[in-house]
Structure 1
Amino acid sequence: MKVLGPEGLAGGEGLQLFGLLKLYLEQEPRFQPREKGLSLIEATPENDNTLCPRLRNAKVEDLRSLTNFFGSCTETFVLAVNILDRFLALMKVKPKHLSCIGVCCFLLAARIVEEECNIPSTHDVIRISQCKCTASDIKRMEKIISEKLHYELEATTALNFLHLYHTIVFCHTSERKEILSLDKLEAQLKACNCRLTFSKAKPSVLALCLLNLEVETLKSIEILEVLLLVKKHSKVNDSEFIYWRELVSKCLVEYSSPECCKPDLKKLVWIVSRRTAQNLHNSYYSVPELPTIPEGGCFDGSESEDSCEDMSSGEESLSTSPPSDQECAFFFSFKVAQTLCFPS
């Protein structure tokens, strides 16, 4: 086995890979959601007026459906989740605002990651997601999110570490890359992203856990040895690694079980009734405006846990009644795509 590190690779490849790893590890803390804010969400009981873990997880599943529908890449989904969690960990968000925030996170991530020709329009995303807001609401919310995150939207995520670790491992082994599928690893990462608890894990640790579990199933001693050296090089604490590895393993077992409903991976097809088609043009813009969102002081870590900035307002919540044919541009039938599965 080759020596792990820049000296183990020919030319400038080693310097580039390990220089990038050093950069990722330095940037990692800046782009992690505040643990105190995530803990507040985790501890919140379910009711009609507060953000609880179930609502956050459901919104991430909606993001996954949107990325699938618009053909966006995994990086767009992972970045959108990162932006969402960082924002939710800073602000007290009411459930009625969550739909608008989710759409904004998807659009902000798509503009960073996707080619210009692949970025969906704001109106298309509003229509497909059935978000009860207007384009002006989206623009205003995007500004709020960007300001609260200090315009640092392009983040270092677990997906970055996953790809980098994968490249480093196979630069130091004689095994073929095909035996460790990146598509499968990305699908497993998406499963973890759909659970709030994994937003507390360091991206470097989460990526290592996913690789470690997959390598163990392959029973490749050579790859496992290199991966352990990668773990040491990344200065990942043993107890922290073991803790998150157990949680990741449990999550993947649950999503891989026969009881987990697997989605149809065929391209989504929209079936629109004649009555709906006749009303599409008139109903396109017939959505209520999002209530004005007042802003207060930013969350200060020195204050009490209840001092998170509150995005609530005195307005009534948006209508939650089922949309009629006249109110919907399309029927949001891709809920089936929210159930996660892994490639074989």
Structure 2
Amino acid sequence: MIDTVTGPGAQPFAAQLKAMMDLEGRYQPKLSGLRLIETSQDNGLRMTTRLRELEVKDLLSLTRFFGFNSDTFSLAISLLDRFLSVMKIQPKHLSCVGLCCFYIAVKSSEEEKNVPLANDLIRISQRRFTVSDMMRMEKIIMEKLYWKVKAPTALRFLRLFYSHIQEQLCPESQKILSLERLEAQLKACHCSFVFSKIKPSLLAMALLCYEAQEQHDPDHADKIREVLESLQKQLNIRDGDLVSVRELVAKCLLEYATAKCSRPSSQRLRWTISGRTARQLKHSYYKITHLPTIPESSY
């Protein structure tokens, strides 16, 4: 039975946090498998960090093409990294693995009426395999992950932390942190392999600390810092770990913001769709960029 994603209920913050922290370790990709990918040479025979990052960027484009929610993308990346960390796959199979992880996430997170047919998904993404190939790969993925889809992703931690912080701030201070901007920054981080090895709760915390620091608002900085420090203690995160990941976030977002990353000339997908599919899609979907721009302002 598939363990599907459920949204946060009306439980108190402490109860939600404990439930997610208890599950976090069970859904973390295996470090030994990730290190093998990290040390592999880019010779076309082994999975590498570069190939993984290119696949994630394609899945981000698909997410925006269909207008799927951020939960779908984050869950897809969680599934992909977990599978890559336990299975040695050949680069030629990566596109099938990636699309299957994406499709599992779509069926788990989106409303049934918005779930595309597998054949349409293959055609739109121009993957070179059949629906039968995709179904077989999906079964392999689910078996290797023990049919456990639901995962406490960094996005779920980010939203939980954000709501908790906002409840403790005055209306003016609440304007400092933008959830839309934070979620966009998290998507950028997902495109970088280095964050696959970091616990979701720590990544979410580092993003919040980075964004609070970047806003440079002296009138509200003390209160926000106080709330963040209290949250850090609840999570038992060491100062050194938080500073280290925050620096990785800063480096990632700087690289993501460059023209080379935002407007790649050779990696943009060319969408091929049927007439029936075209009639069902919104006109705006045809004008997406390969990677979205992170909002400049928190307002």
Tell me which interval the TM-score lies in, with the shorter structure as reference length: 0.7 to 0.9
| Counterpart position of 1:337 | 289
Structure 1 residue 142 corresponds to structure 2 residue 138: yes
Is the 2:126–2:272 contact (alpha carbons within 8 Å) kept by the matching residues of 1? no
Is the 2:56–2:190 contact (alpha carbons within 8 Å) kept by the matching residues of 1? yes
Q: 1:258 to 1:66 in 2, by over 3 A?
A: closer
Structure 1 residue 192 corresponds to structure 2 residue 175: no
SS in 1 for 2:136: helix
Q: 1:258: Cα distance to partner?
A: 5.7
Q: 1:208 to 1:139 in 2, by over 3 A?
A: same
**Residue of 50, 64, 81 corresponding to 2:77:** 81
* Letter in structure 2 aligned against 1:246: E
Structure 1 residue 38 corresponds to structure 2 residue 39: no
| Counterpart position of 2:178 | 181
Q: 1:245: Cα distance to partner?
A: 1.1
Q: 1:133 to 1:257 in 2, by over 3 A?
A: closer
| Counterpart position of 2:119 | 123
| Counterpart position of 1:205 | 202
Q: What is the distance in 2 between the residues matched to 1:45 and 1:92?
A: 14
Q: 1:260 to 1:123 in 2, by over 3 A?
A: closer
* Letter in structure 2 aligned against 1:241: L
Q: 1:260: Cα distance to partner?
A: 4.7
| Counterpart position of 1:242 | 243
Q: What is the distance in 2 between the residues matched to 1:169 and 1:205?
A: 16
Is the 1:262–1:341 contact (alpha carbons within 8 Å) kept by the matching residues of 2? no
Q: How does 1:19-38 map to 2 (within 5 A)?
A: 19-38=15-34
Is the 2:123–2:272 contact (alpha carbons within 8 Å) kept by the matching residues of 1? no
SS in 2 for 1:66: helix
Q: 1:243: Cα distance to partner?
A: 1.3
SS in 2 for 1:33: coil
Is the 2:65–2:288 contact (alpha carbons within 8 Å) kept by the matching residues of 1? no
Q: 1:256: Cα distance to partner?
A: 2.7
- How many residues in Structure 1 have an aligned counterpart in Structure 2? 271
Q: What is the distance in 1 between the residues matched to 2:50 and 2:159?
A: 29
Is the 1:169–1:226 contact (alpha carbons within 8 Å) kept by the matching residues of 2? yes
* Letter in structure 2 aligned against 1:27: L
Q: What is the distance in 2 between the residues matched to 1:68 and 1:78?
A: 13
Q: What is the distance in 2 between the residues matched to 1:237 and 1:27?
A: 20
Q: 1:127 to 1:245 in 2, by over 3 A?
A: same
Q: 1:120 to 1:25 in 2, by over 3 A?
A: same
Q: What is the distance in 2 between the residues matched to 1:48 and 1:259?
A: 24
User: Which structure 2 segments of 5+ residues have no match?
Assistant: 1-9, 277-284
| Counterpart position of 1:111 | 107
SS in 1 for 2:13: helix
Q: 1:162 to 1:73 in 2, by over 3 A?
A: same
Task: Point out the structure with max Rg over C-alpha.
Answer: 1
Q: 1:49: Cα distance to partner?
A: 1.5
**Aligned sequence identity (%):** 45
Q: 1:269 to 1:87 in 2, by over 3 A?
A: closer
| Counterpart position of 1:57 | 53
Is the 2:206–2:249 contact (alpha carbons within 8 Å) kept by the matching residues of 1? yes
* Letter in structure 1 aligned against 2:58: D
Q: What is the distance in 1 between the residues matched to 2:42 and 2:51?
A: 9
Q: 1:159 to 1:137 in 2, by over 3 A?
A: same
Measured against aligned partners, the alpha-carbon deviations of 1:277-335 in whole angstroms (never above 9, x if no partner) come to 9xx89xxxxxxxxxxxxxxxxxxxxxxxxxxxxxxxxxxxxxxxxxxxxxxxxxxx989
The alignment's TM-score, normalised by the length of structure 1, stands at 0.74
Q: What is the distance in 2 between the residues matched to 1:51 and 1:259?
A: 24
| Counterpart position of 1:229 | 230
Measured against aligned partners, the alpha-carbon deviations of 1:216-255 in whole angstroms (never above 9, x if no partner) come to 1223221121011111111112221121111111111222
Q: What is the distance in 1 between the residues matched to 2:62 and 2:83?
A: 19
Q: What is the distance in 1 between the residues matched to 2:17 and 2:292?
A: 29
User: Which structure 1 segments of 5+ residues have no match?
Assistant: 1-12, 282-332
| Counterpart position of 1:101 | 97
Measured against aligned partners, the alpha-carbon deviations of 1:33-61 in whole angstroms (never above 9, x if no partner) come to 00110010000010121111111100000
SS in 2 for 1:338: coil
Q: What is the distance in 1 between the residues matched to 2:16 and 2:117?
A: 33
